[in-house]
């Protein structure tokens, strides 16, 4: 049984990171739009922190995307991940899920999403 898991925030962050890289924008550029440090923005993209509604709107504007398009794409990837046996869960504050399986986030999740996209 595959016990890999990730969070909705990590999937959303990986999609945002992918779009940012395609546009050849630096994390610091988007962080500046959000009024946060590059390090704080990095945690949002990696799924270690959750984006607020305000941040989601600002990120979508900075990338020239609609919020609805980003959410539709996120939902599509979540469905693909679940089809591959991944458990996608909300990111809960103050909960230690370390025994629940290997959490896939950041660059590893980005690579997985690219892999899924190429296997349409």
The structure's pTM equals 0.80
Task: Please list, residue by residue across 25-55, b when 16 or more beta carbons sit within 10 angstroms of its beta carbon and e when fewer do.
Answer: eebeebbeebebeeeebbbbbbbebbbeeeb
Identify the structural domains of the chain with CATH numbers, from first to last: 5-118 (1.10.260.40)
Helix (H) or strand (E) holding 24: none
DSSP code of 100? G
26-83 pLDDT, tens digit per residue, is 999 999 999 999 999 999 998 889 999 999 999 999 999 999 999 999 999 999 999 9
For the chain, give the mean pLDDT. 84
- The answer to whether residues 76 and 22 touch, using CB atoms and an 8 Å cutoff, is no
């Amino acid at each position: 049984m595959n016990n890999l898991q990730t969070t909705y925030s990590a999937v959303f962050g990986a999609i945002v990171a992918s779009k940012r890289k395609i546009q050849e924008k630096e994390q610091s550029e988007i962080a500046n739009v959000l009024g946060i440090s590059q390090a704080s923005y990095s945690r949002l993209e990696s799924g270690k922190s959750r984006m607020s509604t305000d941040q989601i709107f600002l990120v979508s504007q900075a990338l020239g995307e609609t919020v609805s398009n980003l959410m539709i794409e996120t939902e599509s990837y979540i469905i693909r991940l679940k089809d591959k046996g991944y458990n996608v869960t909300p990111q809960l504050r103050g909960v230690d899920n370390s025994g629940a399986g290997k959490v896939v986030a950041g660059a590893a999740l980005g690579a997985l999403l690219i892999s899924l996209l190429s296997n349409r």
